[in-house]
Amino acid sequence: MLRLIPRAPRRITAKQVRQALIELGFTATSRTIERDLQNLSSRFQLVVDESDKPFGWSWSKDANFAFTPRLSTAQSVALLLSQAHLRSLLPATAMNELMPVFDMARGDVAATGWSEWHRRTAILPTGMALKAPEVAMAVQVDVHRALLLQRRLTGWYRSKGTDEPKEMVMHPLGLIVRGPAQYLVCTLRHYPDVRHLALHRLSRTQVLDEPANAPEGFEFQQYASTVATAYQGRGQIALVVRFHAAAAEHLRDTPLSADQVIQPLGDDQIRLHATVEDDQSLRWWLMGFGRHVQVEAPAHLREEIAADLRAAVAGYGCPLGGQMAESVAT
């Protein structure tokens, strides 16, 4: 019975407790359940809400959960890591409900060598570390609730590069975290196109009673692992690039693709072949190596990056000359 009772402000009635016990194989009358709840409240931090019938029972917000089965060390460490690193993906209601479990996990590892493990581990970006944009709590709660209930969502959205938001009706499909920002994967109104809306640009949201509609055959996890990983994707390409060997050393341990091949060229140079997605992220990644990389194929990507480099040199007010001019021109 104690394990069936939720933490305040959630509540459970004696009738609901009785039904849950029956499903677990325990039979008792409603009167017995009510009497036992009254007796237990004198020994544990149980509270009853008598403002409305049927009365609702809860654990008080500061209740001690010491009577529950202890977590293993591995379970406790995993819970504390999830609290530290998955906070943005957990609905606020779930976070509130899990707080006593997090507290229990913290207590269970307090006297062990694992007590500071979640503070001694970190997930770091491979690129420039950007501060996460601020998302209104009310928006985050509504988005999570709409996803959980599979309901439509209304709100005002300010598109990138504009000042005035527009009202939209969204059909939530999932939530993606890309870098420091969160994006709602959804369709709009009656259109089948899948869109990504930045949560920090949403305001005045409201969950509707109408069910959300998903495109026929849409499966979020498959979408997230394929289409959504590409940023302004154009399809797969056979990439061939020449690297200074030291700049590409990490690619031996963390390859670009399953079919990656590295070919030594001499003069501290290597040629890399890999099948990759032709998207904007690839361009940013390649440009980040500067003079240590040269795209050889495909031709359209080589030309785009050469044009960007020429524009960059012009932006610095420097004339093309010597080795740089030769490299960009070729």
The DSSP code sequence of 225-292 is HTGGGSSS---EEEEEEEEETTTTGGGGTS-SSTT-EEEEEETTEEEEEEEEE-SHHHHHHHHTTGGG
pLDDT(128) > 70: no
Is residue 212 scored above 90 in pLDDT?
yes
Q: For 315-326, what is the mean pLDDT?
A: 62
As a whole number, mean pLDDT of residues 226-234 equals 64
Confidence band of 1 (pLDDT split at 50, 70, 90): confident
Reported as half-sphere exposure (CB side, CA atoms, 13 A), residue 325 has a value of 5
Q: How far apart are CA 231 and CA 281, in angstroms?
A: 6
Residue 92 reports pLDDT greater than 70: no
Q: Helix (H, G, I), strand (E, B), or coil: what is residue 190?
A: coil
In whole angstroms, give the CA distance from residue 168 to residue 157. 7
pLDDT of the residue at 187 = 95
Q: Cα-Cα-Cα-Cα dihedral of 77, 81, 84, 89, to 10°?
A: -130
Structure confidence at residue 94 as a pLDDT band (50, 70, 90): low
User: DSSP string spanning 12-58?
Assistant: B-HHHHHHHHHHTT----HHHHHHHHHHHHTTS-EEEE-SSSSPEEE
- HSE on the CB side for 116, CA within 13 Å? 2
Model pLDDT, residue 232: 61
Amino acid 270 reads I
Where does the pLDDT of residue 325 fall: very low under 50, low under 70, confident under 90, or very high at 90 and above? very low
Compute the distance between CA of residue 64 and CA of residue 30 in angstroms, rounded to an integer. 27
Backbone angles phi, psi at 305, to 5 degrees: -70, -35
pLDDT of residue 320 exceeding 70, the answer is no
In this prediction, residues 102-112 reach a mean pLDDT of 77
What are 274's two structure tokens?
Answer: 């890999």
Tokens 């039904």, residue located: 19
pLDDT digits (tens, 9 = 90+) for 138-188: 998 899 889 988 999 999 999 988 889 999 999 999 988 877 788 999 999
pLDDT (mean) for 298-304: 94
Residue 57 has pLDDT above 80, yes or no: yes
Please state, rounded to an integer, the average pLDDT across all residues of the chain: 84
Retrieve residue 202's tokens: 């949403």
Q: Is the dihedral of CA 73, 89, 144, 191 positive or negative?
A: negative
Instruction: Give the per-residue pLDDT at 141.
Output: 87
Check residues 136 and 3 and name the one with the higher pLDDT. Answer: 136
Share of the chain above pLDDT 90, in %: 35
Q: Which of 304, 257, 244, 248 has the alpha carbon at shortest distance from 280?
A: 304
DSSP-based three-state secondary structure for 304: helix
Residue 89 has pLDDT above 80, yes or no: no
Distances (CA, A) of 141 to 24, 137, 148, 180, 304: 33, 6, 10, 18, 42
